[in-house]
Amino acid sequence: MKNENNVMQKSQIAPCGMNCGICLAYLRDKNKCKGCWAPNDNKPKGRANCVIRNCEILNTLDSKFCYDCQKFPCARLKQLDKRYRTKYKMSMLDNLENIKANGFDKFIKEEHDRWLCNSCGGTICVHRGFCLNCKQ
């Protein structure tokens, strides 16, 4: 498994604030998801049918990010954020607020620093809590 920490880029940040570059579906070798902005071709069904990604309001926004929505944060985003805060110690709402307040460059730098594996330089998987490359 090779998951070098070069996945920290704006194109990997989903509308909900999830960094797809730290997601198990993105980091794994088999049935790899290319991220929320990629076509649905090889995307797991749950991600292809994501209520947030397919939100009609979101698709009318110039930024394509939930923080610009009049309903931000909507019930679905709050529910998703609560699950990720509880299970994975990561908040999509915090991510979105950070991006809006400080910009993508600063957010990407912080994500790189937070999810960098100190042992091999790979990426720590948010869903596993360790680097899939070296298992540290």
73-86 residue pLDDT tens:
999 999 999 999 99
Q: Which residues of 20-45 are buried (b: 16+ CB within 10 A; e: fewer)?
A: bbbbebbbbeeeebbbbeeebeebee
- In which region does residue 62 sit, left (phi positive, over 0), alpha (psi from -120 to 50) or beta (all else)? alpha
Residue-level pLDDT at 44: 66
Q: How confident is the model at residue 2 (pLDDT cuts 50, 70, 90)?
A: very low
Average of per-residue pLDDT across 129-136: 92
Q: How confident is the model at residue 1 (pLDDT cuts 50, 70, 90)?
A: very low
- In which region does residue 35 sit, left (phi positive, over 0), alpha (psi from -120 to 50) or beta (all else)? left
The average confidence (pLDDT) of the chain is 87
End-to-end CA distance of the chain: 13
CA 105 – CA 83 distance, rounded (Å):
26
Q: In terms of Cα–Cα distance, which of 1, 18, 3 is closest to 99?
A: 18
Length of the chain: 136
For residue 3, pLDDT over 70 is answered with: no
